[in-house]
């Protein structure tokens, strides 16, 4: 009987690596392009809600292996019906390079052409066009997230324009260029994101260097409160013959909602948990994933599992309202998927039990709350003091901060709060506001070296 675990293989068997690191080779590829296109953000009500560059980064660096590019019509249909790529591997979301009809006319490209994609005025990537087709963005948005009629197991309320993920897909341009991406100008990650940038190959090497065989992932889009920390530490008691060797925090970095914390604050606040010694730095690693959150609860959990398995992670903690927003999905939709499957999404069994599924063991967790009687943060399945218990609430903590109240240590570590204040001073505001989101869209998370083409 083998009890000890090894690092899981990448999803699909091998890591996608579509980044040309040799500038000369990159330049040569760029020179063969038939047309040039400047990447534009997806806008909703004039605000940037997505930038396809983040998808290109996550695909080319292997986070979304085995996906290699913008999907063909047939692949898109398979994703929407069965959440599978044409190669049969589980994959939750459409990955599409969409452009307007007007832009397509100007570009005059056709199937078989190579399109050079520029970002921040510099050559960034190429897209080798295999197919050009039309989409209906509203239909895409509805089918991506599901409906109460078609997916009654988990969808409770029909999606509408109060859901930011729905707004992303429903704002896509009409034309899709399908084909593989290749990054031809290796980007430099901007500070402070650079020290948290662990693409799958680098993450796997780091885990090996640290002697980590078993790693559990913590999903975040938030500054950590003490409840998050308790979740992280306790969930990590799962493992093989001992608790997990490592805990990775994988923060989603990308366009977010007004009122959320800025990404800079999120990553450094999580890092502070280990710097201040609440979890040993040798056991805790903060990393990022470039992705404009779709807030798709069970589907988002699949994407998280894909990215994190590719990074070499064996376990994933799933909690209440995983990557969720609003009343659309069942509160426990992600846990339902990982415990029983969701047949209407193509899972008659959990994603780890289906063919071409994920090698990710779920750790479905209930809640952590503060109990004044236990005088500690305790697990909801242990503590029976229902009248005394107090649940953590991110919204409550944001209210505290906005009112200028120093949060008590039982809610937020003082070092974490000081990190929030550090970025508040730098950015001029504690949360995402219109000004921050607009500036962030200009700067993005990367810089590109000048690449002159003849």
Partner 1 sequence: MNYLAVLLDAKRLADIQGTALEKKVTDMFGGAIKALIMEMPEEQTKKVLSAFPAARLDARFFLEEVPIAVKRAIFEEIKRSKSIEPKVIDAVMAKADQLKEAVKKESEYLPVPEID
| Binding status of residue 208 toward partner 1 by CB under 8 A | no
Strand ranges for 224-326 from DSSP E: 246-253, 284-290, 315-318
HEC readout, 148-173: CCCCCCCECCCCCCCCHHHHHHHCCC
- 209 neighbors 246 (Cβ within 8 angstroms): no
Binding-site member from 433, 441, 447, 451 for partner 1 (CB under 8 A): 433
CA 209 to chain centre: 25
Nearer to partner 1, 281 or 408 (CB): 408
Half-sphere exposure (Cβ direction) of 36: Cα atoms closer than 13 Å: 12
| Binding status of residue 356 toward partner 1 by CB under 8 A | no
Question: What 8-state DSSP symbol labels residue 142?
Answer: H
CB under 8 A: which stretch of 10-18, 75-83, 94-102, 397-405 binds partner 1? 397-405
Binding-site member from 277, 435, 438, 443 for partner 1 (CB under 8 A): 435
How big is the chain by its Cα radius of gyration, in Å? 22
Positive or negative CA dihedral for 272, 275, 276, 279?
A: positive
User: Would you give the binding string for partner 1 spanning residues 284-323, x where CB under 8 A is met?
Assistant: ------------------------------------xx--
| Binding status of residue 156 toward partner 1 by CB under 8 A | no
Q: How many residues bind partner 1 (CB under 8 A)?
A: 36
- 316 neighbors 247 (Cβ within 8 angstroms): no
CB 407 to partner 1: min, Å: 8
Binding-site member from 396, 441, 447, 451 for partner 1 (CB under 8 A): 396
Site residues for partner 1, 243-262, by CB under 8 A, read 258-259
Nearer to partner 1, 243 or 394 (CB): 394
CB under 8 A: which stretch of 116-124, 234-242, 356-364, 391-399 binds partner 1? 391-399
Site residues for partner 1, 25-54, by CB under 8 A, read none
| Binding status of residue 390 toward partner 1 by CB under 8 A | yes
Token couple for 171: 């704002």
Question: What 8-state DSSP symbol labels residue 100?
Answer: -
Nearer to partner 1, 81 or 385 (CB): 385
End-to-end Cα spacing for the chain: 62
CB under 8 A: which stretch of 30-38, 75-83, 210-218, 426-434 binds partner 1? 426-434
Name which of 288, 312, 285, 287 is nearest 200 in CA terms: 312
CB under 8 A: which stretch of 58-66, 170-178, 414-422, 437-445 binds partner 1? 414-422
Site residues for partner 1, 357-376, by CB under 8 A, read 370, 372, 375
Measured CA to CA in angstroms, residue 444 lies from 52, 190, 326, 399, 441 at distances of 11, 8, 27, 28, 5
Binding-site member from 355, 404, 452, 454 for partner 1 (CB under 8 A): 404
Binding-site member from 139, 194, 406, 449 for partner 1 (CB under 8 A): 406
**Beta-bridge mates of residue 178:** 131
83: left (phi > 0), else alpha (psi -120 to 50), else beta?
A: left
CB 425 to partner 1: min, Å: 5
User: Under the rule (CB under 8 A), what is the footprint of partner 1?
Assistant: 258-259, 320-321, 370, 372, 375, 390-391, 393-396, 398-400, 402-406, 408-411, 417-418, 421, 424-425, 428-430, 433-435
């Amino acid at each position: 009987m083998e009890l000890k675990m090894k690092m899981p293989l990448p999803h699909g068997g091998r890591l996608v690596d579509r980044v040309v690191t040799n500038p000369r080779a990159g330049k040569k590829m760029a020179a063969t392009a038939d047309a040039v296109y400047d990447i534009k953000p997806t806008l909703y009500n004039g605000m940037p809600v997505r930038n396809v560059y983040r998808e290109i980064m996550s695909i080319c660096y292997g986070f979304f292996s085995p996906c290699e590019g913008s999907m063909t019509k047939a692949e898109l249909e398979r994703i929407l019906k069965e959440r599978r790529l044409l190669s049969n591997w589980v994959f939750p979301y459409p990955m599409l390079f969409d452009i307007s009809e007007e832009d397509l006319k100007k570009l005059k490209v056709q199937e078989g052409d190579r399109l050079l994609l520029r970002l921040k005025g510099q050559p960034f990537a190429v897209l080798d066009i295999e197919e050009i087709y039309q989409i209906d963005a509203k239909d895409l948005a509805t089918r991506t997230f599901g409906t109460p009629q078609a997916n009654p197991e988990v969808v409770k309320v029909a999606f509408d324009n109060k859901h930011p993920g729905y707004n992303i897909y429903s704002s896509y341009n009409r034309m899709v260029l399908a084909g593989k991406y290749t990054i031809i100008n290796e980007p430099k990650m901007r500070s402070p994101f650079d020290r948290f940038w662990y693409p799958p190959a680098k993450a796997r090497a780091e885990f090996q260097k640290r002697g980590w065989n078993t790693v559990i992932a913590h999903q975040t889009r938030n500054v950590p409160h003490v409840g998050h920390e308790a979740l992280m530490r306790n969930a990590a008691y799962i493992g093989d013959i001992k608790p997990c060797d490592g805990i990775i925090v994988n923060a989603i970095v990308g366009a977010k909602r007004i009122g959320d914390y800025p990404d800079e604050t999120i990553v450094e606040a999580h890092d502070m948990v280990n710097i201040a010694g609440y979890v040993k730095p040798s056991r805790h690693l903060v990393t990022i994933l470039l992705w404009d959150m779709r807030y798709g609860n069970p589907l988002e959990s699949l994407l998280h599992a894909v990215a994190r398995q590719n990074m070499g992670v064996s376990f994933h903690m799933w909690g209440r309202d995983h990557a969720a927003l609003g009343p659309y999905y069942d509160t426990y939709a992600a846990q339902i998927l990982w415990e029983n499957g969701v047949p209407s999404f193509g899972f008659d069994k959990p994603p780890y039990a289906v063919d071409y599924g994920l090698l990710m063991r779920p750790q479905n967790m209930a809640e952590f709350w503060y109990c004044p009687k236990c005088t500690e943060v305790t697990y909801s399945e242990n503590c029976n003091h229902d009248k005394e218990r107090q649940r953590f609430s991110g919204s409550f903590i944001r209210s505290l901060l906005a009112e200028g109240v120093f949060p008590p240590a039982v809610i937020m570590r003082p070092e974490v709060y000081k990190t929030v204040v550090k970025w508040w001073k730098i950015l001029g505001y504690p949360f995402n506001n219109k000004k921050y989101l607009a500036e962030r869209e200009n700067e993005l998370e990367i810089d590109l070296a000048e690449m002159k083409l003849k």
